[in-house]
Amino acid sequence: MFKLFEPNKIFKITSKAPKYVLFLFIVVLSVGLVEALFISPEDYKQSDAVRIMYVHVPAAWISLGIFSSITLLSICGFVFRNKNFFLISKSLAPSGFVFNIIALVTGSIWGKPTWGTWWAWDARITSMLILAFFYAMYLIVWRIYDKEEKVYKISTFITIIGIINVPIIKYSVDWWNTLHQPASINILSKSSIHSSMLYPLLIMTAAFALFSLLIFLMKYNTELIKIKNKGLDRL
């Protein structure tokens, strides 16, 4: 089954897809920005500061999602002895890292008007910062080591240790008394967020997901061409 997804076979699609994804991203982001900045209502407690949620929450969700995917793909790479899984993981990491930084910075900006401070060593924020370190270590490993097998082993080890932090991030607001508010959106039970705020949030999440797909495709194509460049050297 994995042969269907071999780089040689899917390059035709992955090389053409970015321009369509970019177009779709611009459209969805434009709608999302109008909804988030102008149409959605202000919060009765936080007033207009709540609008920061429309960039902060999707960025946090996607950075967590990408890290979980990287871990799963790295493990699959080892189990199925397939390099393509590692290539996909490596291509996903930069956007995951940037989303993590966006979540931290926008969270800090949101903290000032709501908590009165830019930073607090609160469980949720600290665990998100730790995730950023794991992302950084993962990216650095790919840069500093040349031997593929060594990179695969060390990067997978980092993701396996790092994934322990993901449920801690998710449940930190329930396990400890934190400044951070508990989750307003639940998949299994009724969400406490009103639809007038939920829809813009979902639109912005879709825009962010499209952006990470765009960066993934561009990065994946770059990695494939790098491999082909090495192939030409061997001719």
Please select the residue that binds other proteins; options are 102, 123, 128, 169, rule is CB under 8 A. Answer: 102
Contact status, residue 114 vs residue 142, Cβ threshold 8 Å: no
| SS3 label, residue 45 | coil
Residue with Cβ nearer other proteins (37 or 161): 37
Q: Which residues contact 229 (CB under 8 A, 6 or more apart)?
A: none
| SS3 label, residue 120 | coil
Quote the tokens at residue 96.
């995951």
Helices first, then strands: H and E counts in the chain = 7, 0
Region near other proteins per CB under 8 A, out of 80-88, 93-101, 125-133, 139-147 = 93-101
Contact status, residue 94 vs residue 140, Cβ threshold 8 Å: no
Q: How far is the CB of 52 from other proteins (least distance, A)?
A: 5
Quote the tokens at residue 21.
């994804």
> Binding string to other proteins for residues 31 to 70, with x set by CB under 8 A, is what?
--x--xxx---x----xxx-xx--xx--x-----------
> Binding string to other proteins for residues 182 to 211, with x set by CB under 8 A, is what?
-----------------------------x
What's the alpha-carbon Rg for the chain, to the nearest Å?
20
Task: Give yes or no for residue 116 binding other proteins (CB under 8 A).
Answer: no
Please state, in angstroms and rounded to a whole number, the distance separating the CA atoms of residues 54 and 107.
Answer: 11
Please select the residue that binds other proteins; options are 83, 150, 194, 228, rule is CB under 8 A. Answer: 228
What are the residues binding other proteins (CB under 8 A)?
7-8, 11-12, 15, 33, 36-38, 42, 47-49, 51-52, 55-56, 59, 94-95, 98, 101-102, 105-106, 109-110, 112-113, 211, 214-215, 218-219, 221-222, 224-226, 228-229, 231-233, 235
